[in-house]
Each structure stands twice: as C-alpha cells, then as structure tokens.
C-alpha cells in the first residue's frame, strides 16, 4: 500500500465525515448477492462515483455505494483482484472504513463449499484463511502518515478473525458452519483437482475476495469478523457446472437469514 494512496483515501473519508457528521465505529463490506443487507439500516448513501479516489466496480451483483450513519459504515460493492484492480485498490474499502473511524470490520462473501458437510445456503463463520492469491496487500513500502508507520512491517496473523465474533454468531444462529476460507484470484472457477488440493490443505470454502481486506484490516489494528454464504458445491463436488447467476440467486434467497444474523452481530459489536 502506497502512503500517498492511503493519505488520499483518509482525506476522502475525512470529507465524508465532515459533510455527514458521522464517525461510525463499525464497518462492513458486503459480498456477491448480499447488497440487500445494507437496506436494513437507515443510512446516508454515497455512491462510489462521488468518492473519486475509489476505483469503479464492474461485477454483476455488486453495487458501488457507501451506506453510512452514526453507528455503521457499509461498503456495498468491493473491488476484486480478478477485475484487474491493483492490491491497493482491492483494500481501498478497508482504508476508507478505517478513515471514517471504524475499529471493527465485518466482511461477508459468497463462497463455494469444499467441506463435504456444507450445502448451498449454509452460512460459514470464517475461522481462519489461506491466502492463495499470490500477493499480499502489504507488499511494498510500509505506508506512513505524517512519518508514522500505519502498522507493523511483519504483522501477526495468528488470529485474524475474532473468536468472540464467532462465539456470538453461534449463539445467535444455532445452525452455522465454521471453517477455513481460501482465496483464489478467479475469475475462472476452480478445477476439481484444485478443489481436492485445497481440501487437503485444510480449506472448507473457496472464494475470490475477503483475504486481502482481512489482512489489511488487521494490519490497521481493526477487529475482524467474517461470514461466508455457501452458494454452491465447489467444482467436482456437485453435479452442475458453476454459474455466477447461481451465486447471486442463492445470495438473494439466504439474505433474510444472513440479515437477521448480521443485525444481531451489529447490535452486539456496537455495544461491546
Ligand atoms: N469458487 C470461487 N469463488 C466462488 C465460488 C466458487 O465455487 N462460489 C462463490 N464464489
């Protein structure tokens, strides 16, 4: 992450705080088909187009808008590596949320189920991740603001995802899965051989996002909670070919359950 880029994003965040009067403590990034989660909150909406430092999102199912009120800031629309975005741009949403004042971050995504105990429609609490993207968002000079490092050069990643968040999620919805998320670049889905390899590596679900954001948030000292909506059996485990439409459709169908869970977690994390 370049110091100049993060300074520009923080500057844009400060402008948004000034115009809206909001300095929320909790941030959220919504994945494929989950943008309706943002509608539960009474918020001021700022289209990404009005935040010129952000890149423009391109993928179907991703609306590019920041929802913000005094408690929460929600990035509806994220930036993926497969779209051709640079690592800096991929984590720009996290920088924006941190710049707005967020100390905690909830990341959601759509993922393919690798664990044979998972079915489409299941929700998995992300317990840990495997970065299979081939880059780390912290590569390059350690960014500084006013001569001070934003975080450690070699930040610890032994506990990326908050165990308290996971425990609370389990308490709120008795039927959740828990496991390891592996991030791949996409945009092609995996081959069955890759899925067998990822299974042997210890992955329970596979997707094309979240890991850079979680790494960057931890680097910035934020607490992170993660949820994956399992939208399909990973390649070779189901009988069907994989289609993006299916990912978006399952997202829509499971939105109510996800909404209820996220609402409970938001209430709890705002008070904690
Ligand atoms: N693989 C990668 N990313 C995904 C999948 C998948 O099977 N489903 C949803 N996002």
Tens of pLDDT, residues 152-167:
999 999 999 999 999 9
Residue boundaries of the structural domains of the chain: 3-271
Higher pLDDT, 256 or 266: 266
Q: pLDDT band for 67, please (50, 70, 90 cuts).
A: very high
Report how far residue 136's alpha carbon sits from residue 153's, in angstroms, rounded to the nearest whole number.
Answer: 12
Per-residue DSSP letter, 161: B
Pick the atom of ligand 1 nearest to 242's CA: 7
The helix-helix angle for 3-20 and 92-100 (nearest 10°) equals: 50
Pick from 25-39, 58-72, 89-103, 230-244: least confident? 58-72
- Locate tokens 């959601």: which residue? 108
Task: Kindly state the average pLDDT of the residues 71-94.
Answer: 94
pLDDT surpasses 50 at 178: yes
Question: Which residue puts its alpha carbon closest to atom 2 of ligand 1?
Answer: 207
Residue 247 in contact with ligand 1 by CB distance below 6 A: yes
Q: Is 83 among the residues known to form the active site?
A: yes
Angle at 134 between CA 29 and CA 220, to 5 degrees: 45
Q: Is 232 among the residues known to form the active site?
A: yes
Residue 232 in contact with ligand 1 by CB distance below 6 A: yes
Q: How far is the CA of 240 from the centre of ligand 1 (A)?
A: 13
Task: Kindly state the average pLDDT of the residues 225-236.
Answer: 94
Report how far residue 185's alpha carbon sits from residue 198's, in angstroms, rounded to the nearest whole number.
Answer: 14
* 252 labelled ligand-binding: no
Task: Kindly state the average pLDDT of the residues 200-229.
Answer: 97
Residue 61: the pLDDT is 41
CATH class of 3-271: alpha beta
Do the Cβ atoms of 27 and 74 come closer than 8 Å? yes
């Amino acid at each position: 992450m370049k110091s100049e880029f993060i300074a520009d994003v923080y500057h844009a965040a400060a402008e948004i705080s000034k115009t809206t009067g909001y300095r929320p403590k909790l941030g959220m990034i919504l994945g494929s088909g989950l943008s309706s989660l943002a509608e539960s909150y009474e918020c001021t909406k700022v289209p990404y187009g009005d935040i010129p430092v952000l890149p423009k999102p391109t993928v179907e199912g991703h609306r590019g808008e920041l929802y913000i009120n005094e408690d929460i800031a929600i990035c509806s629309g994220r930036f993926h590596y497969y779209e051709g975005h640079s690592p800096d741009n991929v984590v720009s949403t996290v920088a924006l949320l941190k710049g707005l004042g967020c100390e905690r971050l909830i990341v959601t995504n759509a993922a393919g189920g690798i664990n044979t105990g998972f079915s489409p429609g299941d929700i998995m609490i992300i317990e840990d991740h495997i970065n299979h993207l081939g880059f780390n968002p912290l590569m390059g000079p350690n960014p500084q603001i006013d001569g001070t490092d934003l975080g450690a050069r070699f930040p610890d990643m032994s506990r990326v995802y908050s165990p308290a968040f996971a425990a609370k999620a389990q308490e709120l919805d008795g039927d959740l899965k828990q496991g390891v998320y592996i991030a791949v670049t996409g945009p092609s889905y995996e081959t069955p051989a890759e899925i067998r390899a990822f299974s042997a590596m210890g992955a329970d679900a596979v997707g094309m996002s979240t890991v850079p954001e979680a790494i960057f948030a931890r680097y910035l000292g934020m607490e992170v909670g993660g949820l994956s909506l399992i939208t399909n059996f990973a390649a070779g485990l189901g009988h069907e070919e994989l289609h993006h439409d299916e990912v978006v459709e399952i997202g829509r169908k499971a939105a109510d359950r996800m909404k209820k869970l996220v609402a409970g977690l938001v209430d709890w994390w705002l008070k904690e």
